[in-house]
Amino acid sequence: MNIVKIVVRNVKRRRLSTSLTAASVALGVALFVAIGVLRQASEQGFQRTAGICDTIVGAKGDSLQLSLNTLYHMGFSAGNISLDSFNEIRNQEGVAWAAPIALGDSYRSHRIVGVSSEFFEQVKIAGSGSLSFSDGRPFDFSTEQFVEEHEHLFGEQQAGHDHEDDEHVSYRAVIGANVATKLSLKVGDKIVPTHGVEKSTEHHHDAASEIVGILEATGTPIDRAIYIPIIAYYKMEGHAIDREVELEGTRDARGISAIMLSTKSGYYRQQIYRSINNRLDAMAVFPSIEMRKLFKLIGSGDMILRIISLLVVVVALIGVLVSLYNAMGARRKEFAILRALGASRRLVMTIVSLESAIIAFLGAIFGTLLASLAALVLATELHAFSGVTINVSLGVEEIYLIVIVTLAGAFAGLIPALEAYRTEAAKQLSSNV
């Protein structure tokens, strides 16, 4: 007597019931797996971006906001820090490199970031190495040039002179891989920045920038950004300060949005972190720690959703139990015939329990596949929103889940299996004679 054939035949014979109960199991499993896989992959992707620099310096405010705005181009800048503060910080002992960052404009929903050329030279992506170009080259504008031109520009303004001679300033841009693909841009094209990071009709026509380079894809928000020489920010119409108004503090238009800092490890890193946070005009954050805090917070919500998804699986397994139990009355003759053909009570009980296990197994397999598809779709949407590449993959945990759900299905089938166990062959067959 081939028990496998009998079980498969019984499952096929009740296709509608099997499909519905397996689908209910699949939905619970899919929700549970998708939440876990997507959260883990998202955290890895965001941490990879956080490794671009070990420290970010900005105006006093919210540390998470500073990290998200500087590295992930989300939200808004909390304010600026002065050029003097930048010079003091970058010249501290133990600083490997410091890249000034200016934020606040955009082009067709893509953030424009003012940087010096050290950004392209020093930034390294975990697993990819240094930034490279698929076409063109980086612009040449060093941090030293920025400091010199910044002092020259605002020194003239404070002295009451107009700084209208911008012939030595060439508006150039380097764009990320996603920007080039999505907007069909190439080297030699020109873009006109828009004032602000949200939809605006105010364009900086005076700062039309020629694209000189396109970066290779990095799987980070760098792919979605547009980079221009940082001094260009201060020379755009509407960005220069009105010399009749004295600006100071974090809203000083002469300031810098943030500093990407790479420090020597060990003592230097902690010492620089403490010294910056002891200042009244700036704060330092470790982006990797901020991302861990963020995902720890997200993890609380994830746990609730995963508990709910487990409850869905439990309810679905109860549905398997009810489905099989309700079918017991119509199947008593079937079990009686099996008994008459030599099947033991234990074998009949095993057949029913295996049927329940197979339904749960099919639901778990289908749910895992459905979760993979859903996670891939959500990862694509998250990448489009944040620029962070999410690598979705299934692991050993999902295999364990399939095994656990299958065993739980077999356990759920014990009650109808016990009903089958109690079937009296002689009584059932004699009543049909």
Q: Is the pLDDT of residue 338 over 90?
A: no
Q: Pick the residue with more confidence: 123 or 243?
A: 123
The answer to whether 261 touches 276, Cβ cutoff 8 Å, is no
Mean pLDDT over the full length of the chain: 81
pLDDT value of position 188: 92
pLDDT value of position 181: 92
Q: What is the largest CA-CA distance in the chain?
A: 115
pLDDT tens digit sequence for 264-300 = 877 888 999 999 999 988 999 999 999 988 888 877 7
Alpha-carbon distance 410 to 344, whole Å?
19
| Range picked from 21-35, 143-157, 194-208, 271-285 for highest mean pLDDT | 271-285
At 74, the pLDDT band (50, 70, 90 cuts) reads confident
Enumerate the β-bridge partners of residue 103: 113
Amino acid letter, residue 325 = Y
Q: Is the pLDDT of residue 139 over 90?
A: yes
The answer to whether 75 touches 69, Cβ cutoff 8 Å, is yes
Enumerate the β-bridge partners of residue 175: 214, 226
Question: Other C-beta atoms within 10 Å of 294: how many?
Answer: 17
pLDDT value of position 290: 92
